[in-house]
Structure 1
């Protein structure tokens, strides 16, 4: 079975989507429609902007989403997904790719998500850190032992987790992770504590926007970050998407479930190849490819 996976924030690079824009009439039309919807020329920043300009949350999330979704739409007949999944932000790309969301609605939600997350980041000093070389259980145990808010945020692959929470608590957790035998516990250059309780204000804001948006029955199931299971019911997809902002991304578990359910080829659609590397670490027998 063909599985298509979509990357999240962090995959962006200057020049992303430029070749698509120049070579495809459909891509050009969709990029220009995106500029209108967003109210600024995101294409200028994607194609020619600096790394710092691209790093602004209000730019990064729509940019990665647009690159992924427009690439999928230009694949025409060759794009026949039997299952989809996206890492964090990438779940929105996956939901456009499998027909749950329209291009316009997906972009509007991603833009609202980015702005809501940015606002939430400004309320309390918070951050994220990568932890390498510990089991999932050990990371969970250490987080639970720390005073303050710190939780596992991304289960990326065995031995690679990201934790998230209040800055002080994350720093204390990093020291405790190293003491517990972690190879590395490294604070990440991010704007705040994504996929943690610190995102509650953003979740509330995005929930209203998601509730007001039409979700269609998809052409194939989406393996959602929150459950790591195949979901096809639009109301359930909505509910899980709302919870996603404050809950961990179960990427390891999602890929394992997709393999169990018959995925034979994972194609990454969007900038970069991070997900292909993670999938090979989760299941070395899985076949991976890129469409970027």
Structure 2
């Protein structure tokens, strides 16, 4: 078996996530509490109950998701399970770097809390949008974006899997690109409920803020390879992790390419860590049954995944 951990991104969060893991696992609880101490809001209340109704706001979503992921990763470490590779969807990349030993859990949570606030600031005052485009290939959708860009910024921001791309940018341009995509043969165009034009050039101010913040952060050597969003593969020797993270926030996420690269590397099993099963769906649509998907959102999921992994290696 060759194993990869894939970490979920923004959009799958919900109130209640992690509550049963916190109750069931001392190691999850320890990591989660250490992460909570680094934040200026009540992490436990926001994740488990969300009394203020803020978990879908990016500045809260990001640290909640990364704290959850770090806790689950720690549970696997305690059980003696380590992947050969790690990757994540957007903010999930920080969880992948925590898994690889580049950042500890507290540092990862602090950074995504900063990142979430920087992305929220970059979105202020913008009439923006993001739309999922179904069943249209990359080249034709890029042509639609090129034509619509006369109305403003619009880019392909997520290459999720064959038949599912996401565009984002200024609302008028996104709406026009969506119209053109339908004319070009897209099956559906689904506007997404998001608070900003993420992974587009409009996030450049967030990238600049991150670049400045990273000057005070120590990035340890990777203990295992991470596949990076903006590359769709492992980094080259000349690439730096801070540079890739700055680039990531303002450029496309190549998840489909990442999945194909994992298959090329011989990965046959992935564990999706985080709420929902979106990434597992992307894996199946990209490489079919070539990679088996396990999911961990709950304590029961963890026990099932652990049993399945141990059965393979027994």
Fold shared by both chains (TM-score > 0.5): yes
- Cα deviation for residue 35 of structure 1 reads 2.2
Secondary structure at the aligned position of 1:4 is classed as strand
Superposed displacement of residue 231, structure 1: 2.9
Q: Offset at 1:160?
A: 0.3
What's the counterpart of residue 177 of structure 1?
181
Aligned equivalents of 1:196 and 1:8: distance in 2? 16
Residue in 2 that maps onto 1:97: 99
CA distance in 1, matches of 2:113, 2:161: 28
Change (3 A) 1:27 1:87: same
Shift of 1:185: 1.1
If the length of structure 1 is used for normalisation, what is the TM-score?
Answer: 0.96
Is 1:270 the counterpart of 2:271? The answer is: no
Displacement of 1:32 after TM fit? 2.0
Counterpart Cα distance in 2 of 1:137 and 1:83: 30
Which stretch shows the higher mean deviation, 62-71 or 90-99? 62-71
Distance 2:36 2:265 in 1: 38
Any unmatched runs of 5+ in structure 1? none
Question: What does 1:25-174 correspond to in 2, within 5 Å?
Answer: 25-49=26-50, 52-75=53-76, 76-146=78-148, 147=150, 148-174=152-178
What CA distance in whole angstroms lies between the structure 2 residues aligned with 1:110 and 1:263? 28
* 3-state SS of 1:84 partner: strand
**Are the aligned partners of 2:91 and 2:112 in contact in 1 as well (CA < 8 Å)?**
yes
Map 1:184-223; keep pairs closer than 5 Å. 184-223=188-227
What is the Cα-based RMSD across aligned positions, in Å?
1.5
Paired position in structure 1 for 2:24:
23
Structure 1, residues 175-230: CA drift from partner, whole Å, max 9, x if none?
Answer: 11111111111221110100001101111001111232111111111000011111
| Cα displacement string for residues 223-249 of structure 1 (whole angstroms, at most 9, x for unaligned residues) | 000111113869622211110011100
Write the distance in 2 (CA, Å) between the matches of 1:115 and 1:43: 19
For the 8 Å contact 2:144–2:181, the answer to whether it is kept is yes
